[in-house]
Structure formats: C-alpha cells, structure tokens
Amino acid sequence: MKKTRVRSLTPCSLTPCSLVGPARGARSARAFAALATLAFVALLGSADAQYAERRELPGSDHKNVDASGRSPKERRVRAIHSEIVQQPGATLQIQLTDPYLAYMLGRNLNFREFEEHDGALSARKTGTGGIANLGGPMPDGVTAKLTLQNQVSCIACHNIPNGNPGGGMNISKDSGFGRDTPHYFGAGLIEMLALQTRTDLLAAIDTNGDGWVSIPEAQAAPTSLTIQPHPGSPLTVDYGNPQLDGGTTGRPQLDNIIRPWFVDANGAWVEGADSVDGVTTFGYNLELIVFGWGQGPGRDALNPTVRFFMIDAFGAHAGLQAHDPTTMDDPDGDGISKPSNAGAIQFPATHQPPDQGVEVGAGLGTGGYSLADPDGDGYCTEISEGDLDYGEWFMLNLPRPAFAGTEAEHDVGVALMDQMACTSCHVQSWKIVEADGTHKGDRRFFDFRVTWDEADQRLEGELVPLFDLLGIGGDPLHAPRLGEYDVDGIFSDLRHHEMGDGFAEVGYGGTIARIWRTPPLWGVGSSFPWGHDGRSLTLDHVIRRHAGDAAASAALYVGASRADREELVRFLRKLVLYDIESLPADIDGDGIIADQLIVEGRLTGGERFNPEWLFDDPAQIFGTYVNEDGEIVNVLSVINLEQAYKLEQQYREDRDEEDGDGWPDEWDPDPLTIGWYDGVNNPPWWLDPTSGRN
C-alpha cells in the first residue's frame, strides 16, 4: 500500500535491532565457519573511468557523470577472496557484515563494461585469436559452435529491462538460428533446487551413503528415478533410469539434464573416463546442468551453478579468464568441491576454471592471485576468485519474476494450464526444504516479494530479510536462516524433453537437436521472442510448435476454444520481469510504501529497493541540482562513495592517486607504480598504446 508521508530510513528500520541466537540448520563449512567461533574471536575491525563506470558528480566537468545513479560507481578493483571475517574489505567479511554492499558489488560486476586493460577482447592474443574468433567444438569435434569475444559486459545481452539481469538479443551459437538470451531473475532459486534435487536423487540410489553410485547400487536401483517437486504433491518428476546400460558396465540412462562423471573404487573421479568399465571405473556421480538450453543427447547444457555460469560467460563472451580456487577445492578428489562462501558446492570433475594459476601472495589472503595469463594477452587474474564471490552472491539473491495480475486471474491461468496438461512439464511450484544436515536450506539473505496492487494498477515490492544478526562486539554478522521456501510460479520440471520436429534444429556441423530443457515460464511475458532459437514472435506460435513429448499438450491447446487459448496467452503475458531498483517497494518493513524516502538526510524519491540505501554506511546522494536547461533535478550520484563502498578498507584499497591500476594494494607488489599487467609491470609493447609501435 502506498503512503503519503515522508519516511526516514534508519538502521533499525532495515534489519533486526537486537542480536539473536544462532541461525537454524547447518551452515556451509567454509562460508559460515567464522560464525561458530564468534565466542572466541572478535572481529577486526585519478585515472579515466571505464565507459559504464560513472562516479563523478554533476558540475565537476568530468565525462563520467550519471545523475540517475544507475551506473557502476566504484572503480574496478579485483576483489580478494577470504574465508574468515577478520580481513576488512575481503569477501567473506563484506558478505557477512555488509551483505547489500556485497550484492551491489556483484551487481556491478555483471553490468560493468570491461576495458582492454582488464583483459577484455584483447585482439592481439598469442595463438588464441582475437575479437569474434570462433570457438567450439560441435559434436564432430571440429566445427566451432559459437563466436567468442564479442561483448564487454553481461548487460550487453541480458538487458531487458535495461540495468537488470533480463533477456535480450539472439546470439550466434550452435546453428544459424542462434540462441535466445534468457533472463536470470531467480537464478539462485534455480541453483538451490538443482543442488537439492541432486542430493535427493543420489540419496535414492546411494544406499551406503558414501556419496557416489557403485556398480551394485546401480544394479539394485529402480528403473525410474522420481522426485516430488513439493512434499505431498501427487506430481512426480521422472529423471530416468539410474541403472547402467550394460548391466555392470556402461552409462546410467538418466534424463539428459543430468551429467554423470565416473569414479574409481574409492569414489575419486577418473579424468577422461566416459563410462563404468569395471577396470578403472567402478561407479559414477552426477550433477544437474540447469543453466543453458541444451546441446543434444548426451551433451546436456552448460552449467550446474551460478558461479560457473559466470566463469563461462566471462571467458567465452568477453575473453576474461577466471582464476578460481574455490571451484577446484576438492580435498578428497571426488569431483565435488567444498562449498563456496555462498554455500554452493562446485563440480571440478566436469567444470574447471580456465586460469589454473600460478599462486603468489602467500599470507595476503587464501588463494592469492595468478600470473598464468592463459590467453597470453598481457593481463593477469582477469576475474579473481573474490570477484566471483560477489557475482555468485548477487545471482544467489536475485529476485524472481512476478505475476502482474490478480489472484483470481492467476488461478484461472493455472487451471487452464492444468486443463491443457502444460503443468505436466511446466511444474508450477517446487519447495526448498529447511536445512537438516543433508539439505542446505534457503541460502539467500533476503527475499524481494513482488505482487500486483489492483487499486494502483502496478507491481509493488516488499523486502523480506532472511537472516539473523549474530555477534559479540564489532560488526554483527548476517547469518542466513537456511529455512524452507516455496518457489511458486517457476513452471518447470528442471529436466529435458524430446520436442520433436517443432523445435528441431540443424546445427553448424550437421547434427539435429530435438532435446531441450523445460524453460521456467516465470518472466515469459517479458521474454520476446520465444523458443530456444527465438524464432517464435508470438506466444501462440511457440505453444503450437510443441511436439514430441509435448505433442498431446499442444493438441489440447489447439483443440481448446479460442476464448480459452486467448485467456491462457493473457495469463502467460502477465508472467513478467520488472526494473528491480525502481519498483515501488516497502524496504523498511512497515507495510507501506513512502512517497518520499530520506536516506542520510537527503530526499531520494519514492521508497524503492536501491541496495545502496541498505549498506552498513548508506549512500548519500548529491541531491538537488539545476541542469543546463534550468530545471531542478534530484541527482542520485553518491557523494560518500569511499565510505559507502568501503574503498579504503584494507583488502579493497587501490590508491588511485598513486596508481589506481585495479590491483588492490594488499596484493600489489608495488602500489605506487601503475601496473595493469600484474601490479608491477605495464603491458608488453604490443598492448601499450603509449609505446608508439603498431
């Protein structure tokens, strides 16, 4: 509900004001290890800007000004990963003491336009090609499947609505028809469901609980491995046959969304193995590849986690290689890493970062940085482990799409989907179960609930904290509650289906793909065009294209009355994305939305979810300004940038008056000398525009 009075935002209006007891459930061994020892340990306490980095103020006579406040403001400085909270400005300390700042740093990493001195699109590589070179391979092992190094920012493709993790352009990939860029609203919820489903599938067949499936366990497994998306639901999702296709040898016959890897007699993954042979491999492990449209039989899709989603995208599209020890932290060699700071396991058996690294900087933070420079472009540690900590944090907590209609309209639409058997694949709801020692629970630290206000005919948001405050002295830690959560309106069974000729695609190399992931329908109303290839310009057309496993449902749609078909399409059009940061929203928990919100003594406009208002040191805006047309505008540029973004903390500081080279001083061997390459050395001459050489 809208309110007409002015509201002043105070710390106690944002978070619980009293410290409470331990959060419920088990926590990630890495991310929350510090919480268990709080009783014993006290917290310790200019260069030209990039194109999309606009941190200067109106009237300053600088080119990098943004009065709207939407652009990334802080200079790009590599983030330093940590796993303890006593390192001011390192990632875990920021994530647990200033979580909205960590979210904003991940947001800005997604939306930042990287420059050549960051390692982006370096055209003069040594043996790896340059901008728009081809990469692959397709199933024939020769044909390239996509164009590499063609964007400098995630927002270049994921940009509807602009400044959000939306969908966008069709990119050249796999075939001449390309791939429709999907949105990634709600990406963290999808990742959590995938990891939970993996846990439940494995528990059903790993009878001795050692974390992998042996030959005897595969033989004894049921021929159909099913999961209830929601406890008590009569609907089950069938993930296929976990038995080996050769009896005691071969591969499991699971749904295409599941990627197995193969292990020795002790459960350690065997690199390069593609089946169980009873000689070197004696079982398998598995993961769900939930990000990506699909690549064809036995080739699932792209990524199992949001962290590696970022690693792949940065490398393929921007030429930025990630150095990420987190994804390789697998002490027992089973192909599964320890959890990241955000609590998600990774899968080094199938997904490894491109920069394996030369470790340096011992004592300056776990993991250090890499001098390997795998693409030979003259720039090192192009994406750091800490950068990925923040990017993963942002994607984990991303709000989900909304329904822009009434509850009655929603119920009618779901009933029509049930009637036409759409929900047999587009499953409406899943449930994240509370942490219980086996399951991890909901790892987010906030939920942004968006609903339709019928009176004002608009979407409105509500910020709901999902953490408790813990601590004795120093800054309190924001501990995720790890509770349960109903993921309503996702409309996907998180598996692949054979879609027949309606979605058949002839790839660059001549193979025909007909197997595709069931895309979540949340946000589908904003996802024009439709289909994996973007070839459908109406929702009616993409529904009619359904064939194969969906042929019966498509027939029910075609055979329905025109009124029912039109009502279903209207329902789907109301499953929408929105501009997260301008949506009217109650962020202080008082149940109403202010016409004017005061933050740090300044009127900021209507109450909305701007993470900068929620920092430990909230951002203070510039305020009123008379523009060149003589109009008075409220400028949202930030005047306390250093304090709000903690740019002067030990593990974040890069003194731009000295060098400002993107290497934090804590890592920089020579913080008084500009050294874009490695903190000391300038780029080689072929990348140095001041060298005078071509």
Q: Which two tokens stand for residue 212?
A: 């992998």
Confidence (pLDDT) at 374: 86
Distance in angstroms (rounded) separating the CA atoms of residues 519 and 182: 9
pLDDT in tens, 521-548: 999 999 999 999 999 999 999 999 999 9
In angstroms, the Cα distances linking 620 to 509, 520, 613, 640, 684 are 55, 38, 8, 6, 41
Number of neighbours of residue 19 by Cβ within 10 angstroms? 12
Alpha carbon 198 to chain centroid distance?
19
Distance in angstroms (rounded) separating the CA atoms of residues 256 and 249: 19
Lowest-confidence pick of 126-130, 269-273, 593-597: 126-130
Q: Which two tokens stand for residue 488?
A: 């309503």
Average of pLDDT values for 450-459? 97
Confidence (pLDDT) at 436: 95
Q: Nearest 5 degrees, angle CA 164-CA 597-CA 625?
A: 85
Residue 7: pLDDT above 70?
no
Residue 360: pLDDT above 90?
no
Check residues 218 and 21 and name the one with the higher pLDDT.
Answer: 218
Residue with tokens 């429709």: 180
Q: pLDDT band for position 300 (50/70/90)? A: confident
pLDDT in tens, 668-689: 888 888 888 888 888 765 555 5
Check residues 657 and 668 and name the one with the higher pLDDT.
Answer: 668
Average of pLDDT values for 568-587? 98
CA-wise closest residue to 531 among 180, 254, 235, 183: 180
Q: pLDDT band for position 22 (50/70/90)? A: very low
Q: Where are the alpha helices (DSSP H) in 28-131?
A: 33-36, 91-97, 99-111
Distance in angstroms (rounded) separating the CA atoms of residues 539 and 545: 10
Intra-chain end-to-end CA distance of the chain, in Å: 62
Q: Which two tokens stand for residue 392?
A: 């993963």
pLDDT in tens, 607-631: 999 999 999 999 999 999 999 999 9
Which H or E run contains 642?
helix 641-644
Distance in angstroms (rounded) separating the CA atoms of residues 435 and 485: 11
Residue 37: pLDDT above 70?
no
Please state whether the predicted TM-score (pTM) of the whole model is above 0.95: no
CA atoms within 13 A on the CB side of 496: 30
Residue 367: pLDDT above 80?
no
Q: Nearest 5 degrees, angle CA 373-CA 311-CA 156?
A: 105
Distance in angstroms (rounded) separating the CA atoms of residues 506 and 513: 7
Confidence (pLDDT) at 10: 59
Q: Where are the alpha helices (DSSP H) in 397-536?
A: 407-419
Mean pLDDT, the chain, as a whole number? 89
Beta bridge partners of 288: 258
CA atoms within 13 A on the CB side of 97: 24
What are the backbone angles phi and psi of residue 139, rounded to the nearest 5°? -55, -25
CB crowding 53-89: b at 16 or more within 10 Å, else e? bbbbbbeeeeebbbbebbbbbbbbbbbbbbbbbebbb
Residue 38: pLDDT above 70?
no
Q: Which two tokens stand for residue 295?
A: 């690549």
Q: pLDDT band for position 19 (50/70/90)? A: very low
Judge whether 315 and 205 are in contact, CB under 8 Å. Answer: no
SS3 277: coil
DSSP conformation class of 248: S
Strands (E) across 122-267 are located at: 134-135, 146-147, 158-160, 167-168, 170-173, 175-180, 213-214, 226-227, 237-238, 240-244, 252-254, 258-263
Average of pLDDT values for 299-321? 94
SS3 271: coil
Average of pLDDT values for 316-335? 95
Distance in angstroms (rounded) separating the CA atoms of residues 463 and 100: 12
Distance in angstroms (rounded) separating the CA atoms of residues 245 and 324: 36
pLDDT in tens, 499-509: 999 999 999 99
Check residues 18 and 639 and name the one with the higher pLDDT.
Answer: 639
Confidence (pLDDT) at 472: 64
Task: Please state, for a pLDDT cut of 70, what percent of the chain lies above it.
Answer: 89
Judge whether 185 and 400 are in contact, CB under 8 Å. Answer: yes
pLDDT in tens, 72-95: 999 999 999 999 999 999 999 999
Confidence (pLDDT) at 363: 38
Confidence (pLDDT) at 475: 82
Residue with tokens 């400085």: 77
Distance in angstroms (rounded) separating the CA atoms of residues 331 and 342: 19
Q: How would DSSP label each residue in 439-456?
A: S-----SEEEEEEEETTT
Q: Where are the domains of the chain?
A: 2-111+584-644, 116-151+305-396
